[in-house]
Structure 1
Amino acid sequence: EGVERSDLKEGPGHLPGSAPPGQLGNVVISGHRTTYGAPFNRLDELQLGDAVVVETRTTWYTYRVTGLSVVAPTAVEVTFPVPGDAGATPTQRLLTLTTCNPKYSAQTRLIVRALLQTPLAKAPGVLPPALRAGA
């Protein structure tokens, strides 16, 4: 939990105040592209329709990419429960991934948007289809 520099040294972080995975609103997760293990190094290679799987202690959440964009670092509206509309009530279960852009620079932010498709309760030997061999 957290997106401060010290949090992101440990890996991707969940923006406090953004929705938890699977809930109505916007789950916002930030990560580095080129340092601290570079967890989002290839984020720019995602394409529309690609699966993004978020794992929690109890559930796998599969989201499908609906858009990619590049914004200014000050564009906080991408993190709103309804991106771009601070006062709106959310009706969708969204995921927003954010990282610095381009690689080796913090000039802009790469934003990947995705929509929840399928939650799957975790159980021994059970993986979401997007993570199974051959998927």
Structure 2
Amino acid sequence: MAAQVIGELLITAGVILLLFVAWQLWWTNVQSNAIQDQAVEEFFADLGEAPVADDPVDEPPTSSPDQVPVLEAKAAGETFAVIYIPRFGDSYTRPVTSGVTTAVLDNLGLGHYPETGMPGAVGNFALAGHRQTNGAVLDNIHTLVPGDRIYVQTQDGYYSYVYRNTQIVLPDRTDVLAPVPTQPGVEPEERILTLTSCNPRFGAQERIIAYAVMESFQSLEDGPPEEIAAQVAEVAEGAA
């Protein structure tokens, strides 16, 4: 009798565990994706009638430093950009929100480390995101290939970054957020984008860090780079 009761309890515990895993790996993604889609729609609504794809630029020129606008730092919880990573699929359109609190990362996808620079700034523009749950915004970070472009759209225009390399570090390596990543105290000369997430995919013993360097900027009025032109137009139409 006791063995039967213990067996039933173990089965019940197993079912509960499976339901918890399903909730973590599926339902949190469903919820977060819906919130992120809404944030993207609101971002585009705030842009108004600015052109998004009338004359996409195939090879945008590299801008001189005085031609690159840089947003002021935003309040915690404010979505100020949208990011496109073609390597992650032609539907990968995610909001970028100020802060890396649980409220931001669990709901709005990519969070901006407030102590780092903004898009286009000389130094380090660093973002964090989950890998397997709550939208899994950086689930495919390990698939990036040198030369891949990462596009960040703000109210000013499109910042094009080129992926350079990936690094695996321990969780206490906060020096990856320095203006020159891993080199605290060094004066930055490049405009760097840093993506951070947990590693391995189903664990958190390490951090995976992806670095990209800004290649160019083009204004919103000039339309998006050709690689994401159709995607931007589709998202903008859906938000209209």
Give the aligned partner of residue 141 of structure 2: 43
Q: With structure 1 as the length reference, what TM-score do the two structures score?
A: 0.92
Greater fraction of residues in helix: 2
CA distance, structure 1, for counterparts of residue 129 and residue 163 of structure 2 = 17
Gaps of 5+ in 1: none
Tell me how many residue pairs correspond in the alignment: 132
SS of residue matched to 2:124: strand
Q: How does 1:47-62 map to 2 (within 5 A)?
A: 47-62=145-160
Match of 1:108 among 206, 215, 221: 206
Greater fraction of residues in strand: 1
SS of residue matched to 1:115: strand
Give the aligned partner of residue 7 of structure 1: 104
Give the aligned partner of residue 224 of structure 2: 127
Give the AA of the match of 1:33: R
Kindly, what percent of the aligned residue pairs are identical? Answer: 36
Q: What are the Cα deviations for residues 24-69 of structure 1, in whole angstroms up to 9, with x where unaligned?
A: 0000011111111111111110011110111212211110011111
1:29 equivalent in alignment to 2:127: yes
Give the aligned partner of residue 179 of structure 2: 81
Give the AA of the match of 1:59: G
Q: With structure 2 as the length reference, what TM-score do the two structures score?
A: 0.53
CA distance, structure 2, for counterparts of residue 90 and residue 21 of structure 1 = 14
8 A Cα contact 1:26 1:96, kept in partner = yes
Give the AA of the match of 1:7: V
Give the aligned partner of residue 90 of structure 1: 188
